[in-house]
Structure 1
Amino acid sequence: EPLAPDNPEAAGAMAVAQILGDQGVEVEYVRTTAQAVAAADAGTTLLVMGTFLLTDEQVSSLAGTDADLVLVSPEPWHVGPLTDWTLDSTSNAPADSVEPACTDPDAQAAGPIANRGFGFRATGDDAVVCYPTSSDPLTGAYATTTAGGRRVVLIDDARILSNARLEQDGNASLALRSLGRHEHLTWYLPTRNDPGAAGQAAPGAGILPDWTRPLAFQLALVALALALWRGRALGRVVTEPLPVTVRAAETTLGRGRLYRRSRSSGHAAAALRAGTARRCAARLGLPRTAGAVDVIDALARATGRTAEQVESLLYGPPPTDDVGLLTLARMLDQLESEVHRT
């Protein structure tokens, strides 16, 4: 699993976990929200490695813990319930090396880091933003605050914790100081198979009153009866060839443009990536319960790409502007075409 503390490969994070263990920090690796909440006591640290797969209910459960929080590559809409901040994505160009340029002692001790993310803009009381990615002092790659009596840290680029990039610049120092403040670290890597995510109502499901459900059912019956009546009156359906063939790529790009118009780049990228992963997994004969590692390995073998390339394409940071979203849509379509040729 990418960024798992027991993964020795380049995309894993075993190195930082082992160093923490050598320094006396007990690292507990969990995969469900229930396990994370149970282990996140006061005087410990809870690391949440990405929030993309979490529901609002799971985020609320994590917000109720007393542990210090380290959020790595969090989704902007999840940061509000976990801190007092408002977080916005940015489209600043990644930098090979960034100076801390802030007063946070951990960042100052670490020095420059190799940030390959796009940065974020954090606004809120007591927000200390470090490693600026633009001239805006609130825009950076690392931020800290104290919320509800606990320390909260945001890290933009998850790859600074990876085995491949831990030794670059001050990545290791920043990671160890952020994660090693207490003797116990809960390392939470969310999964799609978390029972805590099952059964949650879709957003907006509780807005309509109860009487709308039977009314909708009755209207559906009326519509069906009308369709049957009109079908007999007009005769059988006559088919005709379509005047033009629409490629699957046009559907993918069109969906990307619709999301772009609504300025929902993060949601758009998540939907496009999930669809590509699902279709490719089915094409390669993987079960519906297959995890991200299984999908990445199967796609790497089928397309000849490296596992890191597939991981970045399907599970990397979301694009933050229109160009990035359309580029991602084209790259996902290319990946699918490579799978269908195998």
Structure 2
Amino acid sequence: MRKARSRRWLRLAVPPVVVLLALLTGVVLYQWEQPDEDDPAYLSPVSTAGIGASSLADAVRGAGVTVSRVGGTADAFRPEHRGDVTILLTTPQFVHPEYLRRLALLPGSTRVVVIEPSRQTLLRGQLPIEGSRRAYASGVSAPGCDFGPATDAGPAAVRRTRYGPVDTGVERQLARCYDDSLVLFSRGWTTMAIVGSADPFRNDRIGEHGNARLALGLLTARPRLVWVDLHHREAPPDPERDPGLGGPTLRPDQTTGPSPARTTPSRVPTATAPGGAGSAGGSGPASSAPGGEGDTPVADPPNPLWQAFPAWTYVVAVLLVVAFLLYALARARRMGGPVVEPLPVVVRAGETVTGRGRLYQRARAREESLTTLRAAALSRMARLLRLDPGTGRERVVAAVAAASGWPPHLVMDTLFGAPPEDDDSLVAAAVRLEALAESLGAAVTTEQPDFSEGARR
């Protein structure tokens, strides 16, 4: 009959599997819940879906601002859309990098609001922000700045993507709010606002906290709003197809526009950004500092190694470490009493003795080796002489000396002598012990021929 297999391995396999399944389920549900930016309803001013932005568009119109919906960034650069206007880029990752670089060529009365650009978008568009960090979900935080729309809105759910410092050698930072999730800076003649979350603009989130007031403050600072409703990757600019795009352009290594006041690398000038309460008619960065400029120390840029991987990879790494520690703890803990199991292979006694002897030799355990040999010899001699297990040392020596014919002092030294000092002493003691055991065995067998058979019975 075949023996049933043990299921003890389930105790070790189930906990890591449960943790892994929980992690995968969370990742799948998180990705499922996230809106697709290529969805036509995503932040569209005409969509009433939860991820749409029709509520915000209606509120902007109610504030007296004209909303113009365009299907591409090239349309936002047309002459009829230039001047005292706000341009909203809801999906900057779909905007061609050349258009992002041309933003610096817009008039000084233009404000550009960019919603949650990724690190790659910042690099491709030559936007002067050094890195970003993205969280799983948006968090609520206080403004922490004196930017008008932020102070009027109060706490808002903007803290999702947090942006690094502005490169002050190229542009000038105007405001930094909501734990680095709302950054305003000059871009050539233009003022740009980088928003770290789309929640304040969505229909299903605009009513939470101060989201509505913040979104309105960003989009109603100019009498006109050009809403770029883009949901696919744009083609490169074509001056022949789009005559309104004529004029200079920006190469990746070129900066066009007024040169802001340069500062030392350790200090950044900051000022209240345009578009605050009562500043709807404000213009470019040159006139956007009613409160004056102050020096604010710049934090050291974050280590790029931490930004090389998305945030979820660090969570997975931590969970894997925890699972490994739990597995190691489970392996080290004895689960139940010892179970007698057959050896998978048969090991010869000679090999076992040789292996144990080599272990003793490697550990230089001479005293332990001789003690083990003496214990085995005493056990065998006690059986031959039929001595009780608790017999004293003197009686054992006397009985062995009488039976073997060896002098008592030699028997005492052989069975209970001093430990060996070196390998030669150990070998000599072992040989003498074996000789005594053989002499005793021969003497007992000669005097009692049936002793071994009785002992076996």
> What interval of TM-score do these two structures reach, taking the shorter chain for normalisation?
0.5 to 0.7
Aligned partners of 1:97 and 1:196: how far apart in 2? 37
| Counterparts in 2 of 1:18 and 1:87: CA distance versus 1, 3 Å | farther
Please, which runs of 5 or more residues in structure 2 have no aligned partner? 1-40, 239-304, 318-457
Alignment equivalent of 1:12, drawn from 35, 39, 52? 52
Shift of 1:51: 1.4
Measure, in 2, the Cα distance between the counterparts of 1:44 and 1:170.
24
Change (3 A) 1:167 1:262: closer
Cα distance in 2, alignment partners of residues 40 and 51 from structure 1: 19
| Match of residue 98 from structure 1 | 141
Tell me by how many angstroms 1:52 deviates: 1.0
* Matches of 2:312 and 2:87, distance apart in 1: 31
How does 1:112-127 map onto structure 2 within 5 Å?
112-115=155-158, 117-123=160-166, 124=168, 125-127=172-174
Task: Please report how far the alpha carbon of residue 20 of structure 1 lies from its aligned counterpart in structure 2 after TM superposition.
Answer: 0.6
Corresponding residue number in structure 2 for 1:57: 98
Show the counterpart of 1:322: 313
- Residue type at the aligned position of 1:86: I
Q: 1:47 aligns with which of 64, 88, 92?
A: 88
CA spacing shift, 1:111–1:262, aligned 2, 3 Å: closer
Contact 1:122 1:143 in 2 (8 A): no
Deviation at 1:87, TM superposition (A): 3.5
* SS of 1:322 mapped into structure 2: helix
Task: Provide the secondary structure at the position in 1 that maps to 2:130.
Answer: strand
Alignment correspondent of 1:163: 203
What's the counterpart of residue 280 of structure 2? none
Q: Structure 1 residue 24 and structure 2 residue 64: aligned?
A: yes
1:258-285: CA deviation from partner (whole Å, max 9, x where unpaired): xxx99755xxxxxxxxxxxxxxxxxxxx
Query: Which is bigger in relative contact order (C-alpha 8 A, separation at least 6)?
Result: 1
If the length of structure 2 is used for normalisation, what is the TM-score? Answer: 0.40
- Residue of structure 2 in register with 1:2 after alignment: 42
Equivalent pairs, count: 206
- The letter of the residue matching 1:131 is Y
Greater mean deviation of Cα atoms: 35-44 or 170-179: 35-44
Partner of 1:76: 119
C-alpha displacement at 1:69, in angstroms?
0.8
Tell me, in whole angstroms, the C-alpha distance in 2 between the residues paired with 1:65 and 1:22.
Answer: 27
TM-score by length of 1: 0.53
Deviations 1:285-319 (A, max 9, x none): xxxxxxxxxxxxxxxxxxxxxxxxxxxxxxxxxx4
**Rg bigger for which structure?**
2
Shift in Å at residue 107 of structure 1? 0.7
**Matches of 1:192 and 1:324 in 2, distance apart?**
31
State the Cα distance separating 1:158 from its structure 2 match. Answer: 1.2
Contact 2:112 2:192 in 1 (8 A): yes
Contact 1:72 1:156 in 2 (8 A): yes
Query: Which residue is 1:231 aligned to?
Result: none
Tell me, yes or no, if the aligned pair for 1:93 and 1:118 is still in contact at 8 Å: no
Q: What CA RMSD, in Å, does the superposition of the two structures yield over aligned residues?
A: 3.2
Q: Superposition pairs for residues 141-152 of structure 1, below 5 Å?
A: 141-152=181-192
User: Alpha-carbon deviation of 1:321?
Assistant: 5.7
Q: SS at the partner of 1:69?
A: strand
Contact 2:142 2:155 in 1 (8 A): yes
**3-state SS of the aligned residue for 2:64?**
coil
Question: 1-side partners of 2:316 and 2:118: how far apart?
Answer: 16
Q: CA deviation at 1:197?
A: 6.7
User: Quick one: distance in 1 between partners of 2:307 and 2:159?
Assistant: 23
Question: What code does the residue aligned with 1:143 have?
Answer: V
Aligned partner letter, 2:210? G
Residues 158 and 182 of structure 2 are in contact (CA less than 8 Å); yes or no, is this contact kept in structure 1? no
Partner AA of 1:47 in structure 2: L
